[in-house]
Amino acid sequence: MDSTNPDHEAEAEVHADNLLQTSISLKEKVKDKARKIMHLPEDPAQREFSQQEIFADPAFNPSQVLDQKSPPKPDRTSRESVSDGLKDFKYLVAHPRQVMRSKATRVAAEKIGSARHPFQAQDHDRELIDAHDTLAHVATNIDPGSGVGKDQVDDACDRVAEVESQRESVQTAWILGRHVNRVKAIHPIPRPEQSDHTTIENGESRLQWEKYLGRLALFHTQGFTSHYVDDFESAPFDLEDLARIIERLAITSAPWQAFLMEVRNVYTWKDPKCTAKWAVLFWSLWYTEHIGAYFWFWIIYSTVRSKFQPTSVERIRDSVTRAFDRGSKVQAWGELLQQHGKQDWIEPLLDDMGPLIQRQLGDLADFLEVLINFHRHERPNKTMASLFFFLSCLAVALFADMAFCVKLVWFILGGGFFVSFPIASRYPKYRLLVSHWRLMFWDIPTHAELAILQLQEKAVIRDANFMEFELREPDESAQDYTTNDEAHKFLVHHDMEGKGELEISRSGIEYSSNVAVQFWGFSSLSEMRKSSDLETEKTLHNLRKLGSRSGEILHFIFSTSELKLLLHPADRNRAFNLVLAWSGLKWQSLQMERRRGGRDNLDTAIKRAFQ
């Protein structure tokens, strides 16, 4: 049931060619580095065996990161255990409410602590610090004249590169395994027809020109705007998704928390010399009317500095030895309290304000991730485009008349109020297309988009035959450089057809059961979803057939059909990432659309958020 759409295949070929060009444009040592970092043997005969170890990379096997257990607690003697148990029992009898409150606090603290990004874990930081310390040690012992010690320096450099690649794989695995549950392939948008936007009113046909012109604009600009169009107007409120968004905010706001702490140190005069320096700078800029120019200068300077002076290892070393204690208060509106009573007000409030708050928090998390990736030069060409815009703003602020600058600022604010804000509020699907903040950082990826791109680049590097880039001898044929088609199989269960097998190869997706064998090419794949039906008895019954106590659902949506399978959680993440890596399609990370009703919506969401 493969769909052969020429536009879809052409777009897939262009996207795959871009990925290949990205891998070819790496540094001159990409061949050796890729073989050492990705463990690719030089012998093509050994290459097939190495490809079977693809799941040794956490990027392709997120369960290595998601299933890590916390370190065991130190053993205690039986006497200590009995003594502590008696003390706990006596305190429980005397203060039952305090015990329940303390228990809830500990559970919440454990959930918040376990949500910390593994990319920032101290074990990975220590490993990176050790690698840099080794490199610094061998670099001081090298003899420039005789070249003694160059091998040790090369080995130390390779170890640093390998550790950094491992950290990148862990980050990719964490983002795709925990924060990406639904992706949608970006296919070409067909040209709109006027008949599709014509309505009949009072016997007369009327063209909805605003919708037609909007779709026509999307058609002509789909090359760089299609991935900014959301899938639905407003996702239904769900505490599980809200918990993930808050987790993303906690991770991505870490640099801003440090910045705010520095600002607090300035206005509290913790260091009088530093505060005096900033005061002199501010009043000088105020007197010369260049506060706005300094803002653009600071953005450009900090971004360029991060390019030529990356994050110091000493900063990571200091972060390992420090412990931060941050707190925040969240306040909600209580307007529905009098209407629904003291006990039944929270669910109507969440139904009314939940989708709006969730969408705003999601956009805020995306924007903070974009800022981090912009500052880190994750996509250098897009960062340079944004820097060119900031340079233009700096030039206008420096050389243009201040009256003109103020007039220009008010023009931008007026355009946002009368054009951008109405479109964003009436048509939330297109809010990012008219966002002033997103326009300044156009096409710079979020963490989810960056993780998908990094996963595809890893697949291209792993699958690339580096001998294809070398000159061949006249007597060598191209058949000597062909590689076998790799495929991976997973045990699955289908609601209607029972037990089956899912096979993912570089050419497509194949599902086989006792009933039939079906194959879909990647060009016909439109969407993938991760979901779980933990409430249904049918799911629990199917888990026994899979020989597992836990299972998750992977939902494929093709152009002409759908496929919904039950897999082991680790296998589902592996299959999901393999399709992302091997499909060669351009993907868009979307929020799950869960349809629940009644009070079960709130109860189920709480269970999912804290399970």
Is the distance from CB of 173 to CB of 580 less than 8 angstroms? no
Q: What is the pLDDT of residues 529-575, one digit of tens each?
A: 888 754 444 544 454 454 454 568 888 888 888 888 888 888 888 88
Q: Which amino acid is at 490?
A: F
Task: Give dist(CA 401, CA 407) in Å, integer.
Answer: 10
Mark residue 149 as left, alpha or beta (left: phi above 0; alpha: psi -120 to 50; beta: remaining): left
Q: Which residues of the chain have pLDDT under 50?
A: 1-4, 26-31, 33-51, 71-74, 101, 104-105, 108-120, 323-339, 341-343, 466-469, 471, 474, 476-483, 534-537, 539-541, 543-544, 546-547, 549, 596-603, 606-611
Is the distance from CB of 292 to CB of 394 less than 8 angstroms? no
HSE-CB of 261 using CA atoms within 13 angstroms? 10
List every span in the chain annotated with CATH 2.30.29.30: 481-609
pTM: 0.55
Percent of the chain with pLDDT over 90: 0
Q: Which amino acid is at 573?
A: N
CATH of 481-609, one of 3.90.1150.10, 3.40.50.80, 2.40.37.20, 2.30.29.30: 2.30.29.30
In this prediction, residue 62 carries a pLDDT of 76
Closest CA relative to residue 229, chosen from 244, 239, 242, 219: 219
